Structure 1
């Protein structure tokens, strides 16, 4: 079993409140869930209105499948015009670890 995760540090555009932040972040989370069938959540910077840490995870029996999905998720997040991707940190674990 392979477990993959990626954590995105993102800067939001013209957002001036936590309510405005939610209106940007929630559609991104829903889109990732729907498009890639992954688990996703805002996992950091919840108290800052222009920053967010978004975590994505998945489990598969095939290492290459996990790598491919994480690659596509990263490209998808990086291409969104309403945010700036500051960094992406990826982890890949084998159940034997």
Structure 2
């Protein structure tokens, strides 16, 4: 069974507090969850107010389809965050 993991590295130069950052990350994660069948959560940089990393994961019977969905998720994140999305990584794992 394939598992897809996508990490999104985010830089928020206009954020002036953890509350500002978490508001942006929460809204982004909520939109991605609503549109795609992925579990999305803040996974790193919780105490930095201008950096964030969201992780998104999903499982399914078709690895190619999961990869396409992850790429669509990244495109949606780019449309939400614009230049604040500084990098992303998509990984596919096989689990027996």
Which TM-score applies when normalising by structure 1? 0.91
* C-alpha displacement of 1:37: 1.7
4+ residue runs over 3 A deviation: none
Preserved CA contact (<8 Å) 1:33 1:40? yes
* C-alpha displacement of 1:85: 1.3
Q: State how 1:44-59 maps to structure 2 within 5 Å.
A: 44-59=44-59
The structure carrying a bigger helix percent of its residues is 2
Q: Can you give the 5+ residue segments of structure 1 that lack an aligned partner in the other structure?
A: none
Q: State how 1:50-89 maps to structure 2 within 5 Å.
A: 50-81=50-81, 84-89=84-89
Cα RMSD for the two superposed structures: 1.4
* C-alpha displacement of 1:83: 5.5
Which TM-score applies when normalising by structure 2? 0.92
